[in-house]
């Protein structure tokens, strides 16, 4: 096979030549960045400060400056996780979710949101920047001595999307350590490293236990959604009875069984700094949403009515403090459930500072999708006797 054929294959798969060649034939002195430019010559066309080449020049200058100041940039070097190179996307996704939890523990992040992903990466020795990239390229991860570990993301992506791509790039440094660079594109068949990195990014940004607790603060019960509605609670008693006893706990009439609404998804996305789609799928993977509910919410997110609301991430929350934002969201939910009337809702909306023009959209995000509402009402008469989940 000719060298040009290898370069074409590397460009097609978004990887370096090193990944396509046996280890024994790799020239260790090859400049990885020069190889990247050969595989993607359009990256070198723009030499401006906001271009990919400009970002690389900035990274080289930073490396030189750190050396002059005797700053040990590798003091907090990244761990290297061993992953199985299997043939199932399921396995790749599970590895991504599992290692994201390990990284959260290693970085002492707890279960809360990551407010500044780029600054977090910097504390681990990973640099991040945005630049104008060729059409179809979302991000590029580079691991070269004179550039450091560098993640470059398309600058025209939204803030929440860039945060996701930064976390996605971190995954490549943790898993795909044998490659000097990797290009991530939009579309095309998903490769296992990309599936693993996507799973890692979503779990790093939205931890499962923190997500459950946050959904509960919105008045939605989570235990019954992920398990049976009738629980068996075992007790050891006084310790002398070796058989103990089991108590049946019926949760069919539990509070907080209301469906998760678009407003809940938008508020979750705003809290964790992700797109609503990432939040919705994370809720689905934790069994807090069904496939049918997810499809309904995705349809609402795509509709023209809710596009401006999605862009503002619910109630223009970046312009409202958390107290007013929460008051407005809960007032909309209370009106839909019949806990308050319209005049009282308007009073609360005034207190929260919600403009009159925004109130219709606010109510729309808090509404239960029609099919869910119909399904819930059709099961109401059977709740007292049915053993199925509501």
Sign of CA dihedral 30, 176, 166, 155: positive
pLDDT for residue 138 is more than 90: yes
- Residue 33's CB: how many other CB atoms inside 10 A? 21
Same structural domain, 31 and 161: yes
Same structural domain, 21 and 149: yes
Strand boundaries in the chain, DSSP class E: 126-131, 137-144, 148-154, 181-185, 230-235, 245-250
Number of domains in the chain: 2
pLDDT in tens, 169-191: 999 999 877 778 899 998 877 78
Same structural domain, 24 and 157: yes
Is 18 inside any structural domain? yes
Distance (Å, whole) CA 130 – CA 159: 11
DSSP single-letter state for residue 132: B
- Domain that includes residue 99, residue range: 3-204
Distance (Å, whole) CA 102 – CA 104: 5
pLDDT for residue 156 is more than 90: yes
All residues at 6 or more sequence positions from 169 whose CB lies less than 8 Å from its CB, including other chains: 126, 128, 139, 141, 151, 153, 184, 197
Same structural domain, 18 and 163: yes
* C-alpha angle 163-12-132 in degrees, rounded to nearest 5: 40
The answer to whether 369 and 300 are in contact (CB under 8 A) is: yes
pLDDT of 208: 93
Is 220 inside any structural domain? no
- The helix (run of H) or strand (run of E) holding residue 377 is helix 370-379
Task: State if pTM tops 0.85.
Answer: no
Give the mean model confidence (pLDDT) for residues 214-240.
Answer: 73
Query: Among the ranges 165-174, 212-221, 344-353, which has the highest mean pLDDT value?
Result: 165-174
pLDDT in tens, 304-324: 454 444 444 444 444 456 777
All residues at 6 or more sequence positions from 215 whose CB lies less than 8 Å from its CB, including other chains: 222, 260, 264, 268, 283, 288
Is 216 inside any structural domain? no
Is 110 inside any structural domain? yes
Same structural domain, 149 and 73: yes
């Amino acid at each position: 096979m000719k060298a040009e054929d290898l370069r074409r294959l590397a460009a097609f798969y978004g990887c370096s030549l090193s990944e396509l060649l046996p280890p024994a034939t790799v020239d260790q002195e090859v400049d990885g960045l020069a190889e990247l430019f050969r595989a993607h010559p359009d990256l070198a066309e723009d030499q401006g400060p906001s271009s990919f080449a400009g970002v690389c020049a900035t990274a080289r200058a930073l490396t030189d400056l750190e050396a002059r100041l005797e700053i040990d940039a590798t003091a907090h070097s990244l761990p290297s996780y061993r992953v199985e190179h299997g043939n199932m996307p399921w396995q790749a996704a599970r590895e991504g979710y599992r290692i994201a939890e390990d990284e959260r523990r290693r970085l002492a992040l707890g279960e809360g949101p990551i407010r500044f992903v780029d600054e977090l990466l910097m504390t681990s020795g990973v640099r991040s920047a945005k630049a104008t990239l060729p059409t179809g390229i979302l991000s590029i991860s580079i691991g070269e001595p004179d550039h450091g570990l560098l993640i470059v993301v398309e600058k025209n992506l939204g803030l929440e999307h860039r945060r996701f791509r930064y976390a996605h790039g971190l995954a490549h440094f943790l898993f795909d350590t044998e490659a000097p660079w990797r290009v991530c594109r939009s579309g095309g068949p998903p490769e296992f490293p990309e599936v693993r990195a996507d799973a890692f990014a979503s779990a790093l940004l939205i931890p499962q236990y923190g997500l459950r607790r946050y959904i509960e603060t919105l008045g939605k019960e989570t235990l019954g959604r992920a398990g049976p509605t009738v629980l068996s609670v075992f007790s050891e008693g006084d310790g002398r009875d070796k058989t103990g006893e089991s108590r049946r706990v019926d949760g069919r009439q539990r509070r907080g069984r209301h469906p998760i609404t678009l407003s809940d998804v938008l508020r979750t996305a705003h809290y964790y700094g992700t797109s609503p789609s990432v939040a919705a799928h994370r809720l689905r993977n934790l069994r807090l949403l069904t496939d049918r509910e997810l499809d309904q919410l995705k349809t609402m997110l795509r509709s023209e009515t809710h596009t401006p609301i999605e862009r503002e991430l619910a109630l223009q929350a970046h312009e409202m403090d958390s107290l007013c934002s929460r008051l407005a969201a809960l007032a909309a939910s209370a009106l839909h459930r019949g806990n308050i009337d319209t005049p009282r809702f308007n009073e609360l909306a005034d207190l929260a500072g919600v403009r009159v023009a925004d109130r219709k959209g606010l109510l729309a995000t808090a509404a239960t999708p029609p099919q869910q509402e119909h399904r819930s009402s059709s099961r109401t008469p059977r709740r007292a006797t049915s053993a199925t989940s509501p």
